[in-house]
A and B are shown apart, each in its own frame.
Chain A
Amino acid sequence: MKDLNRLIRYLAYTLELLVLFMVQETPGLLPAVAGVRPVLLLPAAVAIAMFEEEVPALAFGIVAGLLCDFGFSRVLGFHALVLGALCFFVSLLVRTRMQANLVTAALNGAWALALTLGAQWLFFYYFRYSQPGFAFRSHYLPKYLYTLLFIPLLYLLNRGLSGALDPAEK
C-alpha cells in the first residue's frame, strides 16, 4: 500500500510537470505581463521538493530542469543540474531546519528562483549578448516576480497531492 501510494504520487508529480510544461510553452495560453511569461516548472519543482525526501526531490528537480532545457536551449543539462541540486537542498532544509508551510514555501521559492534565473542570466545572457543590465531589468526581473506569484498556488496543489497520497507513510 505504501509503495503503491508512493508510485501514484510520483506519477502525479510527473504528470503535473508535463502539464505545466505544456502550459508554459503553449503560445497565447498564459498572458504576458510586461512582455514576459512565467516559468511554471521552477516553483513546481521547489514545491514538490518540500514534500519529498532528498533523492526523489533531486529526481523531480532533474525532470523539471530537463523539460526547461528542452524548451529553451540547445544545451541539455544546465537547468537539470541547477534545479536538481536546488531541490535536493530545499528538501534537506525542510526536513532538518524548517517546517513546510506557505511562508517557508515563499521563502524557499524566492531564493531558489533567484538562483536559477540569476544563473540563467549569467550563463545564457551575460557572456553572449549586449546590454545585460537592460535584459536583467526588462526581462529577468519581471519574469522572476511573475513566476513568484505561482508559488502559493503550486505549494497548495502539491500539499494536496502529498497529503492525499501518502497517509500510509506518515
Chain B
Amino acid sequence: MNEFLKGSSFKVLVIAVVVLLGLLIYTASAGGSLIASLLGFVSSPMQSVATEITGNVTEFLDIDGLTKGELKELVGSLQEENSALLDRLVEYDSVLRENQQLKTQLHISQEAPEIEMRSASVIGRDPNDVFYGFSINAGTLAGISTGDPVITSRGLVGIVVQASATTSKVNCLLSEDVEVSAISIDKQEVGVVRGSVTMASSGLLRLGFLSSETKLEPGDIITTSGRGSVYPPKLKIGQVQSIEKSETDVSRYAVLKPFEDLSEVREVQVITSFPGQGEDENVVELDPGQDNQEDAE
C-alpha cells in the first residue's frame, strides 16, 4: 500500500483529480463557454454528418412507416378534424372582417410584430438527460443566445440554456427546469406549464396553478401568454387531455398533450428576437385562481 501511495502513478492521479475539480468549479461558476465552444468546434460537424446520415437511412428504410390500417385510421381522424377546423375558419373569417372594419372606423393602426428566427437541426440527444434535452447545430455565431425560445411549426418545444459558438443546448418543455406562463385561448385562464419526470416519460406536460373552479376541459388549446417576456405570446403548446386535482392544495392542474412530439423533434427554429423580449425580468408568481378572479372582475 505504501509503495502504491509513493508511486508516480498515484501522484498523477492526485494531480488529475485536483485539476478536474478545478475545471468542475470553474465551469460550474463561469459556465465554461470557452471549453464548450472548443469541444463544439470539434464535435459539431461530425454530429451533423452522423445525424444527416441516420435521417437519410431511416427515411430510405421507411422504419417509421405506417401500416394500411393505421393510415386509414389517421386519414379518418384528420378528415374529421379538418371538417371541424373549416367550420371554425368560416367563423374566424367573419370575425376578422368585422375586426378590420371596426379598426378602420376607430382609426386604430397596429404594427406587425417582428420576430427574428434562425433554423437549426437537432444534432445530439444525450442518453443521460432524463428530460429529453437536445443540442442544435447553431450557436452564438448564428445570433443565438441563452434564453431564446425554441419552436417548430407545431409549437413551442423548449428554451436555449447554453449557447457556445457553433452549438447550443436546449432544455425541452418536459424538463422540470422549464416553466412557461400559459393561457387557454378559449377560456382565457392562465397557468404555468411545467414538466415532471412522471409526465416526461409519457411525453405529457402539466398546466398548474388553475383555480378549483376551472372551466378548462379536454380539447382546449393552450398557448404561451407572453407574461414574463421570456416567450412571445400565442405560441402553441398543447391541448388539454384531462383535469386533475392538485396533490398539495385545492387548486387543479391540467394534463397537456404537446402538439409536437418533444422526444423526437429533428428540425427547429430559434426565436432570437421578439417585441418585448426581456422587458419584464421579474418572475411571475401565481396564486391559484388569482388570474381567473381578475378575469372575472
Interface-located stretch among A43-51, A78-86, A103-111, A160-168: A78-86
Q: Are B124 and A25 within 8 A (Cβ)?
A: yes
Q: Are B127 and A130 within 8 A (Cβ)?
A: no
Q: Mark B40-56, 1 if CB is under 8 A from A, else 0.
A: 10010011001100110
CB nearest to A66 among chain B residues: B39
Q: Are B125 and A74 within 8 A (Cβ)?
A: no
- Bound: A22/B125 CA distance, A: 10
- Bound: A15/B229 CA distance, A: 45
- Distance between B115 CB and nearest chain A CB, rounded to angstroms: 26
- Distance between A16 CB and nearest chain B CB, rounded to angstroms: 14
Interface-located stretch among B193-201, B217-225, B234-242: B193-201
Q: Are B43 and A70 within 8 A (Cβ)?
A: yes
Interface-located stretch among B10-18, B92-100, B249-257, B282-290: B10-18
Given A55-B9, A58-B13, A125-B130, check contact A74 B24 (CB 8 Å).
no
- Distance between A42 CB and nearest chain B CB, rounded to angstroms: 10
Q: CB-CB < 8 A to A100: which residues of B?
A: none
Given A62-B16, A131-B196, check contact A74 B31 (CB 8 Å).
yes
Q: Mark A53-80, 1 if CB is under 8 A from B, else 0.
A: 1110010001000101011111111101
- Bound: A68/B123 CA distance, A: 15
Given A26-B51, A27-B266, check contact A74 B197 (CB 8 Å).
no
CB nearest to B124 among chain A residues: A25
- Bound: A24/B128 CA distance, A: 10
Q: CB-CB < 8 A to B54: which residues of A?
A: 26-29
Q: Are A35 and B169 within 8 A (Cβ)?
A: no
Q: CB-CB < 8 A to A21: which residues of B?
A: 43
Q: Contact partner of B176 among A28, A58, A81, A129, CB < 8 A?
A: A129
CB nearest to A39 among chain B residues: B127
Q: CB-CB < 8 A to A29: which residues of B?
A: 50, 54
- Bound: A130/B51 CA distance, A: 32
Q: Are A77 and B23 within 8 A (Cβ)?
A: yes
Asked if B122 CB lies within 8 Å of chain A CBs, one says yes
- Bound: A68/B28 CA distance, A: 16
- Distance between A154 CB and nearest chain B CB, rounded to angstroms: 15
Q: Mark A1-38, 1 if CB is under 8 A from B, else 0.
A: 00000000000000000100111111111100001111
Q: Are A27 and B197 within 8 A (Cβ)?
A: no
Given A27-B54, A74-B169, check contact A39 B128 (CB 8 Å).
yes
B-to-A contact residues, CB < 8 Å: 4, 9, 12-13, 16-17, 20-21, 23-24, 27-28, 31-32, 35-36, 39-40, 43, 46-47, 50-51, 54-55, 58, 122-130, 134-135, 161-162, 169, 176, 196-198, 201, 264, 266
- 16 other A-B residue contacts (CB within 8 Å) besides A27-B124, A81-B21, A139-B130: A24-B126, A24-B127, A25-B123, A26-B124, A28-B54, A28-B58, A30-B127, A37-B125, A70-B39, A70-B43, A74-B161, A75-B27, A76-B24, A76-B27, A84-B13, A92-B4
What would be 16 A-B contacts, judged by CB atoms less than 8 Å apart? A23-B50, A26-B47, A26-B51, A27-B124, A58-B16, A71-B126, A71-B128, A81-B17, A81-B20, A92-B4, A92-B9, A129-B197, A130-B197, A138-B201, A139-B197, A139-B201
A-to-B contact residues, CB < 8 Å: 18, 21-30, 35-39, 53-55, 58, 62, 66, 68, 70-78, 80-81, 84-85, 88, 92, 120, 124-125, 128-131, 134-135, 138-139, 143
